[in-house]
Amino acid sequence: MRLTNGRAKICVAPRYASHKWPSFFINMNIVVKHFYFIKDEFYKFAEDPLLMENKENGNKRPCFLAIKDDKNIIWLIPVTSKYEKFKNIYNYKIRKYGSCETIVLGQLLGKDCAFLIQNMFPIIEDYIESEYVQSSNNVPVSISEPLANNIVSKYKKVLALVRAGVKGLVFPDILRIENNLKTKLETNNMLKH
């Protein structure tokens, strides 16, 4: 590990050499713009019935795209394979409003999918279960840089609107969850000292 421009940079193992994303980590573990699965205990902590829940049946779903907000808070955006359903919603919003900031259509692992900014939420590293890694080659799952930039741009716009008091853009109560996470972090920091 070395410090570059005040940020921790981890030297990536050779098996990740072809990976495009820079290796900047949040708290040295969570890689921005990679995909993750979350622990069930987060739902108990968040107490929000509008969060997309973990699915059972031996499959880890949904997976979430990680975006950094500050040094401790990570924002997760769920991705779904229900492409046609969300494509119809996306097209409806385009026809009605001229744009759609809450859904981004794209591809993940060569399959059409939808990134649901309308279902985004904050989290801390304690509640991340694992990174989404391709089983065939053990490489973290990623998306194209233009798609990632589009998602991040819309995430920032929607979050700014929610912070400004605009209602109805995001289903979960993300500001309440964020405040509870910050309180938890402050409590954890006080206990450490």
Structure confidence by residue, pLDDT tens digits, 33-47: 899 999 999 999 999
Asked whether residue 111 carries a pLDDT value surpassing 90, the answer given is: yes
pLDDT digits (tens, 9 = 90+) for 160-177: 999 999 999 999 999 999
Per mean pLDDT, which range of 48-62, 123-137, 169-183 is the poorest?
48-62
DSSP 136-174: TT-PBP---HHHHHHHHHHHHHHHHHHHTT--SS-SS-H
**116, HSE (Cβ side, Cα atoms, 13 Å):** 22
For the chain, percent of residues with pLDDT exceeding 90 = 67
pLDDT for the residue numbered 64: 95
pLDDT for the residue numbered 108: 94
**CATH number, span 35-192:** 3.10.129.130
Asked whether residue 27 carries a pLDDT value surpassing 50, the answer given is: no
Mean pLDDT (the chain, rounded): 83
Domain borders along the chain are 35-192
Asked whether residue 60 carries a pLDDT value surpassing 50, the answer given is: yes
Q: Determine contact, residues 52/63, Cβ cutoff 8 Å.
A: no
pLDDT for the residue numbered 7: 34
pLDDT for the residue numbered 59: 61
Q: Report the alpha-carbon distance of residue 32 to residue 49 in Å, rounded.
A: 26
Q: Which tops the pLDDT comparison, 130 or 56? A: 130
